[in-house]
Amino acid sequence: MAAPHFWLGVDTGGTFTDFVLLGDGVERIHKVLSTPEAPERAIFQGIRELGLEQAQQEGRLRIVHGTTVATNAALEGKGARTLFITNEGLEDVLLIGRQTRAELYNLAPQAPPRPLQAAHIVGIRSRMGAHGEEVLPLDDAAIDALVARVRAAQPEAIAISLLFSYLNPAHEQRLQAALAECAAFVCHSAEVLPIAGEYERGLATWLNAWLGPRVADYLTRLSDGVAPSRVSIMQSSGGTVALGAAASRAVNLLLSGPAGGLNAARAIGETLGEPRLMTFDMGGTSTDVALLDHGFRLTLEGRIGHWPVAVPMVDMHTIGAGGGSLATVDNAGMLHVGPASAGADPGPACYGRGGTGVTVTDANLVLGHLPPDLSLGGSMSVDLPAAKRALARLAEALGTTTEQAARGVIDLANEHMAQALRVISIQKGFDPADFVLLCFGGAGGLHVCALADMLGARSALVPAHSGVLSAQGLIRAPRQRELIRTLPAGNDSASLNALAEALLAQGRAAMLAEEGLTANELEATTHLDMCYEGQSFPLSVPWHGDLAAAEAAFHTLHEQRYGHRLNAPVTPVNLRARLAATQALPPGGELPLVPPGPPRYSDVAGIGAVPVLERDSLTPGEALPGPVIIAEAVATTWVAPGWQVSRLPSGHLQLLRTR
């Protein structure tokens, strides 16, 4: 019998690195402390502790990784020393930006940090026209002078972004070839993001170069450490790419980790026949929310820190509300929750590590929604007296009782999250009552009933092992390529079909070469971004080869999203092509059903003694009325009065409103 193969999902977070192992009839979860200075060390440690060294050394381990290296480097400003090359006369494009204000009515706003300094920008004499024609040739003398200047600057990375290169990349390609030996990392905009919008395209190209050496260095260390086993990396668009290809696509990894959770949520919805989901991932510092309507949506309007990132990424909204979010009182006596967080060290007061500030976790513990005998992550005990002392100080500042202060913290955190969920549902033309609310992350189950009530949702799901769902989703993610091309003026169905075939052929060739796939394993889809003539923000509709049908679909989508349609011409903006391949996974085995332990109770404020049950002891299909607390190693679920919970055969918890 052949030796078994294993799939290992690895999600690197700020505090913990999560592992989900699938194969040989088992499904195991594991956590180790992250090692931010060298994230691969935590991965190697997890492989050892899971007993996978032999499988790894024999090439029988397939690792799918969601990495925060690009995100952290961007947020912390720790990119490489990068030179930006553009057309002569356009050197200020990235410095000027879009001139939009984050705070419209602030008379003295703080200027956001500039992505780079003027000294790191070089203009070269050349120009392509608006139809891709060469207006000003790029001559050899200009290239030689540029090479000499770049050698003197000795950058670690080079980003090249020229006007209208998305229509004709010839000048960018010549510059890339000439500068290949001047820096360790060289990229150009036509390969990073071939769309219109000089600022967005240039910034994406600069980010890719700025982050590229850091990401490439990390991925090389990871690859060397797990060879000959293979590693795939999650992209912001929700699909994976081979490690070798990911090294040149750093800007496509900025939502690498969160995209894994959405893949898992989509798979759960498909299995349960619930394709319409609102998801919220509540961790220690932040909450990520998204809407899945027969799959998740991609956007070109994502952001990282202060900067727009126009590469395709999952449409997700993030707020600073998590289990570790700090509660404070301002000079006017108003309560605030977040965005500041207690982090992992010292962490919430109840961690017993010296933290004195009140967090959402402390409030849940004081209210009894978290049992006082709970072990966080399966090993960390909680300190209820420390949480009560912290809440008492907050209550004194508010002039109220400890219990009321705790309720205020929870209510305010819930309102922040509900508002985020309204942004991705109501504000985009969707009724939350038409969706099932699915929560994950370590703190999500404590708030799921309250959020469902606030949004009018009648049912909710808490997945099995919800605290490590992002790592689960990494395993299930398809291998994928997203290609996008801005369209020239004057398109018809024939020209769009020809371009779609060209894009699909390009993506197909890349996947066959880089992923080792065959053509019949690939599924292809195309979409057309369209807008009314004169608008700036397009909507994406499926492309099935007929322009009139696409325009009709656009009118319908615009009316759903914005409440009206216009009697105006429709303009095609971008064509997108997606190629994806799923792979049959080894069986993971059945989730265990363990006998119930001795009765446990938690004293819940305003209710009294509430039973605490272990998830794995619940009989599938048996409905339990709230209030009840469902505990497990990586998450806790508070089933509020007016709700009932049952464990599905798959191990997921289904919550239904009963009032």
Backbone φ and ψ for 227, nearest 5 degrees, come out as -60, 145
Mean pLDDT over 236-240 rounds to 87
Q: Pick the closest to residue 50 from 23, 69, 16 (CA basis).
A: 23
Rounded CA separation 226/219 (Å):
11
Q: Residue 532: helix, strand or coil by DSSP?
A: strand
List Cβ neighbours of 460 (8 Å cut-off, separation of 6 or more): 436, 437, 438, 439, 448, 449, 452, 654, 655
Cβ(279)–Cβ(438) below 8 Å: yes
Q: Specify the pLDDT at position 634.
A: 78
Q: Pick the closest to residue 350 from 328, 329, 369 (CA basis).
A: 369
Q: Specify the pLDDT at position 115.
A: 67
Q: Pick the closest to residue 641 from 608, 599, 600, 594 (CA basis).
A: 608
Q: Residue 520: helix, strand or coil by DSSP?
A: helix
Give the pLDDT band of residue 5 (cuts 50, 70, 90): confident
Model confidence over 480-502: pLDDT tens digits?
888 888 888 888 899 999 999 99
Model confidence over 109-118: pLDDT tens digits?
777 667 677 7
Q: Specify the pLDDT at position 513.
A: 84
Rounded CA separation 440/287 (Å):
10
Q: How many degrees, rounded to 5, is the angle at CA 176 between CA 510 and CA 194?
A: 55
Q: Specify the pLDDT at position 186.
A: 94
Q: How far is the CA of 392 from the CAs of 22, 350, 459, in angstroms?
A: 46, 13, 35
Residue 425 has pLDDT above 50, yes or no: yes
Q: Specify the pLDDT at position 338.
A: 80
Torsion of CA 204, 205, 209, 212, to 10 degrees: 60
Dihedral sign for Cα 354, 355, 360, 362, please: positive
Q: Specify the pLDDT at position 359.
A: 92
Rounded CA separation 641/627 (Å):
5
Average pLDDT, the chain: 87
Helices (H) and strands (E) counted in the chain, each on its own, are 17, 37
More confident residue, 318 or 137: 137
Q: Specify the pLDDT at position 88.
A: 93
Q: Which two tokens stand for residue 459?
A: 């049912």
Question: What number of other Cβ atoms are within 10 A of residue 154's Cβ?
Answer: 10
Cβ(239)–Cβ(265) below 8 Å: no
What's the distance, CA 212 to chain centroid?
19
Rounded CA separation 349/382 (Å):
9
Residue 395 has pLDDT above 70, yes or no: yes
Residue 365 has pLDDT above 50, yes or no: yes
Return the beta strands (E) in 416-519 as ranges. Answer: 436-440, 459-462, 479-486
Tokens 């919008």 -> residue: 197
Q: Which residues pair with 587 in a beta bridge?
A: none
Cβ(59)–Cβ(228) below 8 Å: yes
Give the pLDDT band of residue 1 (cuts 50, 70, 90): very low
In this structure, of 35-44, 73-82, 139-148, 522-531, the range with the lowest mean pLDDT score is: 73-82
Q: For residue 353, which amino acid is it?
A: R
Rounded CA separation 652/621 (Å):
11
Q: Which two tokens stand for residue 420?
A: 């985020």
Q: Pick the closest to residue 486 from 94, 139, 101, 201 (CA basis).
A: 201
Q: Residue 628: helix, strand or coil by DSSP?
A: strand
In this structure, of 16-20, 62-66, 229-233, 378-382, the range with the lowest mean pLDDT score is: 378-382
Residue 216 has pLDDT above 80, yes or no: yes
Residue 585 has pLDDT above 70, yes or no: no
Element housing 8 (H / E): strand 6-12
Q: For residue 520, which amino acid is it?
A: N
Residue 14 has pLDDT above 70, yes or no: no
DSSP state of 585: P
Cβ(126)–Cβ(171) below 8 Å: yes
In this structure, of 162-171, 336-345, 598-607, the range with the lowest mean pLDDT score is: 336-345
Q: How many degrees, rounded to 5, is the angle at CA 227 between CA 225 and CA 231?
A: 90
Q: How far is the CA of 375 from the CAs of 213, 468, 557, 634, 636, in angstroms?
A: 40, 16, 48, 9, 10
